[in-house]
Structure 1
Amino acid sequence: MQDRVHRVAITDRARIVLRRLIEQNGPMLFHQSGGCCDGSSPMCFPARDFRIGGADVLLGRLPWHTEFWISSDQYELWKHTRPTVDVASGRGSGFSLEAPDGVRFVVRSRLLTSEESAALAAGPPPHTGADRMA
């Protein structure tokens, strides 16, 4: 097993869409709130335009230093899973930058293996928005 367990991954198809968005808009981030307005889907925003909340949890970094944040409530529900960012045809939320391209980011997840869970439990807790503000 790898020395480092990644909490979040991205498919090749989603990586292509993300790269195009970065080329057009600069650094990006994902946020998954679990709330209304397609909150169950990951939303992609310019990093400079989105304020991370103090309780938000950093699940990890995707290519090009793209952070993936999740609300603390959603994290509690998902902390035993490994989400993978993918894309699907059709418009999602009008708030997320990929929407005008006729695709939407989606998350497909699987349960962590017992080895992955143990490795994560042995390490430090994930960073939160409060860490960023300190």
Structure 2
Amino acid sequence: MDVNRVDLTPAAAQLLRQLRGAHGPLMFHQSGGCCDGSSPMCFTDGEFVTGDSDVLLGSLDVEGVAEPIGFWMSADQFERWAHTHLTVDVVPGRGGGFSLEAPEGVRFIIRSRLL
């Protein structure tokens, strides 16, 4: 059975359309580290180099965006979240220092529920 592990709120989808228009193809990575790493970080696709220590949770299809947006998570973080469904949302506040939404006065967050 193929399980959808990640989704978006309408507010997050709208912000991603805006960011895609300004920066080109996008990707997410969540490391599970401290500080900025504990939030989903949005990058220009390929700007964050993934490897064997990362898991592709899924691809986010956003209406109005030509290509899917990959959502990656560090493998050790995935071990802890393996039985959860993640929803990317956006709230007012300071985004992660390297995440593309930081200058917009908002930040991406994860809302989770058990599968």
State TM-score, norm by structure 1. Answer: 0.78
Q: Given the alignment of the two structures, is residue 37 of structure 1 paired with residue 40 of structure 2, yes or no?
A: no
Partner of 2:89: 86
- Structure with bigger helix share is 1
Amino acid at match of 1:90: G
Partner of 1:26: 24
Amino acid at match of 1:7: R
Amino acid at match of 1:6: N
Amino acid at match of 2:77: Q
Amino acid at match of 2:32: G
Shift of 1:4: 4.6
Instruction: Please give the alpha-carbon distance, in whole angstroms, between the structure 2 residues aligned to 1:75 and 1:30.
Output: 14
Deviations 1:87-114 (A, max 9, x none): 01011211100010000000000000xx
- Structure with bigger strand share is 2
Q: Given the alignment of the two structures, is residue 51 of structure 1 paired with residue 54 of structure 2, yes or no?
A: no
Instruction: Please give the alpha-carbon distance, in whole angstroms, between the structure 2 residues aligned to 1:59 and 1:104.
Output: 20
Amino acid at match of 2:81: W
State the SS of the aligned residue for 1:39.
helix
Shift of 1:55: 1.8
Show the 5 A alignment for 1:60-79.
Answer: 60-63=58-61, 64-79=67-82
Deviations 1:31-71 (A, max 9, x none): 00011332111000001322012220000000231000000
Q: Percent identity?
A: 60
Q: Which runs of 5+ in 2 are unaligned?
A: 62-66
Shift of 1:18: 0.6
Structure of greater Rg? 1
Aligned residues between the structures = 110
Partner of 2:112: 109
Amino acid at match of 1:50: F
Instruction: Please give the alpha-carbon distance, in whole angstroms, between the structure 1 residues aligned to 2:46 and 2:74.
Output: 18
State TM-score, norm by structure 2. Answer: 0.91
User: What is the RMSD computed on CA atoms of the aligned residues?
Assistant: 1.2
Q: Which runs of 5+ in 1 are unaligned?
A: 113-134
